[in-house]
Structure 1
Amino acid sequence: MRSAKLVTVGVLAVALAAAGCTKNTGSDNNDDNNNQEAATQSATLAENSDGPAPDVPGAKPGGTVTIYTSGDFEHLDPQQNYVVPSQTVGSNLLYRSLLQYRENGDGKLELVGDLTTNTGEESNGGKTWKFTLKDGLKYEDGTPITANDVAYGIARSFSPDLPNGPHYIQQWLVGSGDYNAKYKGPYDGGAKIPPGVEVPDAKTIVFNFPTPHADAPFAMALPTTTPVPPSKDTKVQYDNRPFSSGPYKIQEYRRGQQMTLVRNTNWDAKTDPIRHQFPEKYVVDFTRTAEQASELLLADGGAAQTGLSFQDLQIPASVYPKVIANADAKKRILTGTTQFVWMFDFNLQRMKDINVRKAFNYALDREGLLKVWGSYSGDPATTILSPTTSGYEQYNQYDGGKNGDPAKAKELLGNKRVPLTYAYRNTERNQAVAAFLRSSMKEAGFDLTIQPVDEDQYYTVLGAKDNQFDVYMQGWGSDWPGGAAIIPPLFDGRAITPTGNQNITYLNDDQVNKEMDEILALSDLTEASKRWAKLDKDMMTRIVPIAPAIYDKQTTMYGSKIGGIYLSAPYGNSGLNNLFVK
């Protein structure tokens, strides 16, 4: 998942490495907000997926919550939704999937049936998974949600017209990274049910994979499995008005400005084990910078009293000292380690010299970068896998010290100057990062041309195979904290297509591909975790597809009248399921 659970077939207890979370109280918190470490947690596949969701102490209905986020959502279409702010709003408020996570910020996670009666029935050695829908599920217009609609949602995710979003289920169903080579979705006469999927009746959907997938329940929690009624499908325009199956629906959506969500009166709390419907409405404000949003929340007046900032609007360095100096505001910081790693991706189609890639790693001034980023918002990263990942092993293959080693970089470059084009997301924070990178890399011999890309087009542009950039920064968080949710989506070269790529280094290495296949086939997931860590180091030694930069920490704010807030482990962002206005 972009800025981003191990299960054994037949066993409910799961060892899950995930983000360290703050408590879900919405009340004062005098803990030091800067010293949270990555933590391992335990999770279970829930035995009971019934609704309603657990009570939230002190919660009451009414009021308006304002969410500050930078720029419009790249995609709100569930089958294309794979960036944290949009996925949080989509999966918490607008629509439901086959499975989902139940959490309340106390560090305990359960995977529960969201639309389904349980977390799935496995057979055929893990190749077949059956899910049964609950009674009483309805869309915003009162029509019933059916298994056919779930199948249709998955079918449309195969379309080359909708190339973004998670690709696990599509690839697993056809047994190939090139998942739409033969089946291209339901448009232009294609079947409304994808290959490998059966719909015996309106309440039953069955997945038949060519190979076992023990972690299938976790993939079913992604918005890929969101139901879409064919009559409401507007194809590429579905981003503008997804049809609600969740507790809220879109009242108004002015792209680039504001989105207003109001209660969906046909949502039934008795069917939903994770969501509530406390606020009367949500207003998503796309127009604020990180500094503006943080200043508003610091002042704590007007709409900001019932507002919060999202992951992409971390408290900036210009405001943070004022926040921690204010006793009341300091209590309203939401912080904790997340599963995201921020990295500089090398476009291997263009940066073909491994010594250039090694030199970039040696030259990177991670301590200086963190000062620009916000030293309270991360730690220096040197690995592909996050410390929250099961089996993670720390190493530093290109140790340039805290501030980089320009001399070593120059040596690798043969004292030649290397021009690079760096693309950055056009936000306040990333403008500063781009300027810092251009300045700090000069001494090592790199001449960076920096080029902004619109916030709501960033990953779409970089996901085009023919993009004309050499280096770019991305944040990746695992969809479940095992290497299978990190290395294959980021580096499987067989999945590269003209557009919609998650592998934006464009690495296609036979040895890496072979090792991934072997690890994914292992039934011993403890052994698999060890081998993902070994592959991490091998890739950074033999290929160097990225320069790891920052292990992420969430550091955002919320208003004094917000209750029920917590840091969501699956999303690495402010959870919305329990929010209420005090």
Structure 2
Amino acid sequence: MRRVVIASAAALLCVGAAAGCSKNTGDKPIDKTKHTVQTSAVDTNPAHSAGPAKPVPGAVRGGTLYALQEQDFEHLDPQNVYISDAESVSELMSRSLTTFREGSSGKLTLIGDLATNPGVDVHHDCRTWRFTLKSGLKYEDGSTITAADVAYGVARSFAPDINHGPHYIQQWLAGSVNYNAKYKGPYNGGAKLPPGVTVQGDRQLTFQFPKPACDLPFAAAWGTTAPVPAARDHKPLALDTHPFSSGPYKIAKYTRGTELDLVRNKYWDPRTDPLRHDYPDKIVTRIGATADQQTHRVLTSHGDDAATVSRSAVPAELVPVVQRDGTARDRTLAGFTPYVEYLNINTERVTSLAERQAIEYAFNRRGYLQVAGGSAAGEPATTIESPLTAGYHRYDAYPAGPSGNVEKAKKLLGGKHPKLVYAFTNTEEGQKKATVVQDALQKAGFRVVLRPVDKSSYYATVAKRDAGFDIFVTAWGSDWPSGYTIIPQLFDGRAMDVNGSWTWLNEKDVNDQIAKLSNEDANAAAAGWAKLDEHIMRAYAPVVPIDYKKSLTLVGDKVGGVFLSGFVGAPVYYDAYVKA
């Protein structure tokens, strides 16, 4: 999953893969959403990066906000966070150098978070960037957040054990996609400062890049730049269960697989924070309820469920119920998200292009989406890039119709019956989707073996080279609205050994074009990324684009301020409050 802007702080399209996402007010059918390209811009006015955040109209202080989700978080370590459910929680605990403010009109503005502004391009060549931290920044124990802590956070993101977050800054500092070939972070004797980063006093740090890195302010909005004091970092994976808070909330209790309880960080100073509030006394995530259970509970809104956010999408069979319920319609969070969902094909295992093309033709998008929730869950996709991406070009390399073309797939297989091992998330919805995928491919002649994987470790599992899976579904959203944050992250074969891969595609013509476009002006390269998108699909068929994902979730009738974020692509809590 993940998510979305571009060089030299120019206004662009959707950030964090942002889409036209907003709270449904009941004025129109919740499944009648449309693609609304968002804009993003950099705001260099220091006053707009200062706190406190503008008050939320009607918000009151106090109470407990609850959230329900089916599976646990994969990571809460800020340098490892890259999946939307964890992002929503992580941004309450882990601040970064920059962040995005979202407006009701769909505009996302990059501002300073820990930093006084979105960064200074010292020599106006995108090679040297300087950030100055605000004064008054504190951790959950009252100690001061320093520039050295931010630099250390970047340093630890080089560690091979901390490789699930974004890799932009590491690659730019190293001047290579293989960013940790030499420097592997501060563990095992490595330096506490990464190459290219220097610290000047307690509040200033400078990034020096071998090549222009004009997108740095946008990349700095990710957890890569979250501060971590070296004294608190005892071993690489310890922060997954208790990140050291720099935000308005800290962990009071975390029982893996059961519950995460957040309480206020009394040392957080709202005067330093332009984005977040701390209205609820507690924010509690309860883990284990299925999507069906979540929907029923929040729909009825009894007791604690009245102050609850459902994190799972409304199941297909309950979408009509929600659509007919007048009170529920006013409590839906509905719209397009930044993500495109793909059926990934491991090209090292499924080496035949004809077999991969047969999968393209056989796939049943209509059946898959019906299980997911119909038009409320997504719109059939045929491209790698989302329509929200700068330069997006619509095409269909394998026109099979919404239900697939079994006869075309059979012809490509030529009477063969290849075996495919399909990994799927072991949830109620994942099981239903697996049946649809298996049925469609077996009608074409494939023999499909199903392998369930726990959702809490799904992405980490399927990315392993030796996992033994031929096909599996993932979703990806741009980190800012540029093909640069999509195509290289998914298909750069030069970075497979560092980044992992879902398709293990490693083709010289693709790699060369990625290298060329990565060094071009972002606006000029937009059309090139879209052209490469189509080339990859026609020449290599490494994924089946399934759908441009929408979200339809519910909140209880006592929940205020929660909205579907265009940057995160999921409900977020920093404006949340519990109605009296």
Normalising by structure 1, we get a TM-score of 0.96
The answer to whether the aligner puts 1:413 opposite 2:413 as a matched pair is: yes
The separation in 2 between residues aligned to 1:242 and 1:309, in whole angstroms, is 24
> Which one-letter code corresponds to 2:99 in the other structure?
Q
Distance 1:511 1:13 in 2: 31
Tell me what 2:323 maps to: 324
Deviation per residue, 1:140-180 (Å, 9 max, x gap): 00000001001111111111122211111111110111111
Q: Which whole-Å deviations, capped at 9, do the CAs of 1:273-324 have from their partners, x for residues lacking one?
A: 00000001000011111000000011111111111122xx100012222212
What are the within-5 Å matches in structure 2 for residues 343-354 of structure 1? 343-354=342-353
2:53 matched to 1:53?
A: yes
> For residue 186 of structure 2, what is the aligned residue in structure 1?
186
Structure 1: gaps of 5 or more residues: none
SS, match of residue 496 in structure 1: helix
Match of 2:511 in 1: 513
Runs of 4+ in 1 over 6 A off after TM superposition: none
Q: What is the CA–CA distance in structure 2 between the aligned matches of 1:148 and 1:349, rounded to whole Å?
A: 42
> 1:345 touches 1:545 (CA, 8 Å); kept in 2?
yes
Q: Distance in 2 between matches of 1:513 and 1:359?
A: 25
Counterpart Cα distance in 2 of 1:552 and 1:15: 18
Asked if structure 2 preserves the Cα contact closer than 8 Å seen for 1:64 and 1:283, the reply is: yes
The separation in 2 between residues aligned to 1:222 and 1:228, in whole angstroms, is 14
Deviates more, 1:257-266 or 1:325-334: 325-334
Asked whether 1:244 is paired with 2:245, we answer yes
Q: Aligned equivalents of 1:320 and 1:29: distance in 2? A: 14
Q: Which residue of 1 aligns with 2:89?
A: 89
Show the 5 A alignment for 1:329-408: 329-375=328-374, 376-408=376-408
Aligned match of 2:276: 275
Partner in structure 2 of residue 533 of structure 1: 530
Instruction: Give the SS at the match of 2:237.
Output: helix
Query: How many Å apart are 1:347 and its aligned residue?
Result: 0.9
Report the Cα distance in structure 2 between the residues aligned to 1:384 and 1:437, rounded to whole angstroms. 19
Q: Confirm or deny: 8 A CA contact 2:101 2:110 kept in the other structure.
A: yes
Does the aligned pair in 2 maintain the 1:38–1:338 contact within 8 Å?
A: no
2:287 corresponds in structure 1 to 286
Which residue is equivalent to 2:39? 42
Distance 1:270 1:429 in 2: 43
CA distance in structure 2 between the partners assigned to 1:15 and 1:463 by the alignment: 29
Q: How many residues align?
A: 572
The Cα of 1:392 is off from its aligned counterpart by 0.6
In structure 1, what residue type is equivalent to 2:243?
A: P
Aligned counterparts of 1:423 and 1:538: Cα–Cα separation in 2: 27
For residues 235-274 of structure 1, give each alpha carbon's deviation from its aligned partner in whole angstroms, at most 9, with x where no partner exists: 2121011000000000000000001000000000000000
For residues 12 and 346 of structure 1, the distance between their equivalents in structure 2, rounded to whole angstroms, comes to 36
Q: Does 1:195 align with 2:192?
A: no
CA distance in structure 1 between the partners assigned to 2:271 and 2:18 by the alignment = 29
Superimposed CA distance per residue, residues 382-401 of structure 1 (whole angstroms, 9 cap, x where no aligned partner): 11001111111111110111
In structure 1, what is the equivalent of residue 572 of structure 2? 575
Identity across the alignment (%): 44
Distance in 2 separating the partners of 1:199 and 1:249 = 27
1:384 and 1:261, CA in 2 relative to 1: closer, same or farther beyond 3 A?
same
Within-5 A mapping of 1:97-246? 97-124=96-123, 125-234=125-234, 235-246=236-247
SS at structure 2 position matched to 1:341: strand
> Partner letter of residue 80 of structure 2?
Q
Q: Which residue of 1 aligns with 2:30?
A: 33
Q: CA deviation at 1:106?
A: 3.6
Return the offset for 1:7.
Answer: 3.4
Contact 2:558 2:578 in 1 (8 A): yes
Give the whole-Å Cα distance in 2 for the aligned partners of 1:465 and 1:344: 17
Question: How far apart in 2 are the matches of 1:403 and 1:28?
Answer: 33
Is the alpha carbon distance of 1:28 and 1:412 closer, same or farther for their aligned partners in structure 2, counting shifts above 3 Å?
closer
Aligned-partner Cα distance in 2 for 1:53–1:380: 38
* Cα drift, residue 571 of structure 1: 0.7
Q: Distance in 2 between matches of 1:323 and 1:15?
A: 32
What CA distance in whole angstroms lies between the structure 2 residues aligned with 1:200 and 1:509? 43
Secondary structure, in 3 states, of the residue corresponding to 1:319?
helix
Asked whether the 8 Å contact 1:340–1:572 carries over to 2, the reply is yes
SS at match of 2:338: strand
Q: Which amino acid aligns with 1:142?
A: G
What is the SS of the residue equivalent to 2:29?
Answer: coil
For residues 397 and 181 of structure 1, what CA distance do their matches in structure 2 show? Answer: 37
Report the CA distance between 1:473 and its aligned residue: 0.3
Instruction: State whether residues 12 and 390 of structure 2, in contact with CA within 8 Å, keep that contact through their aligned partners in structure 1.
Output: no
Partners of 2:329 and 2:42 in 1: CA distance:
36
Q: CA 1:7 to 1:332, structure 2 compared with 1: closer, same or farther past 3 Å?
A: same
Amino acid at match of 2:320: P
> Residue 294 of structure 2: SS of its match in structure 1?
helix
Is the contact made by 1:8 and 1:14 (CA closer than 8 Å) also made in structure 2? no
Quote how far apart the aligned CAs of 1:104 are. 4.5
Shift of 1:16: 3.9
**1:555 equivalent in structure 2:** 552
Shift of 1:485: 0.6
Query: Which deviates more, 539-548 or 13-22?
Result: 13-22
The answer (yes or no) to whether the contact 2:94–2:226 under 8 Å persists in 1 is yes
Match of 2:258 in 1: 257
State the shift of 1:21 in Å: 3.8
Q: CA deviation at 1:6?
A: 3.1
> C-alpha separation between the residues in 1 aligned to 2:315 and 2:61?
32
- More displaced, 266-275 or 301-310? 301-310
Q: Would the aligned equivalents of 2:95 and 2:227 in 1 still touch at CA under 8 Å?
A: yes
User: What CA distance in whole angstroms lies between the structure 1 residues aligned with 2:146 and 2:237?
Assistant: 22
CA–CA distance in 2 between the matches of 1:323 and 1:263? 34
CA distance in 1 between counterparts of 2:242 and 2:18 reads 32
Q: Which runs of 5+ in 2 are unaligned?
A: none
Report the Cα distance in structure 2 between the residues aligned to 1:513 and 1:226, rounded to whole angstroms: 31
Does the CA-based 8 Å contact 1:373-1:429 persist in structure 2?
Answer: yes
Aligned partners of 2:387, 2:39: CA distance in 1, in Å?
A: 16
- TM-score, length basis structure 2: 0.96
RMSD in angstroms over aligned alpha carbons? 1.4
**Secondary structure, aligned partner of 1:285:** strand
- Given the superposition, is the C-alpha separation of residues 32 and 62 from structure 1 closer, same or farther in structure 2, using an over 3 Å criterion? same
1:542 to 539, 543, 548: 539
Partner deviation per Cα, 1:312-337 (whole Å, 9 max, x = no partner): x1000122222122111122111001
CA distance in 2, matches of 1:340, 1:49: 28
SS in 1 for 2:420: strand
Alpha-carbon distance in 1 for matches of 2:486, 2:512? 16
Distance between the aligned counterparts of 1:40 and 1:33, measured in 2?
Answer: 19
Tell me how far 1:12 sits from its aligned partner: 4.9
1:487 corresponds to which residue? 487
Structure 2 equivalent of residue 434 of structure 1:
434
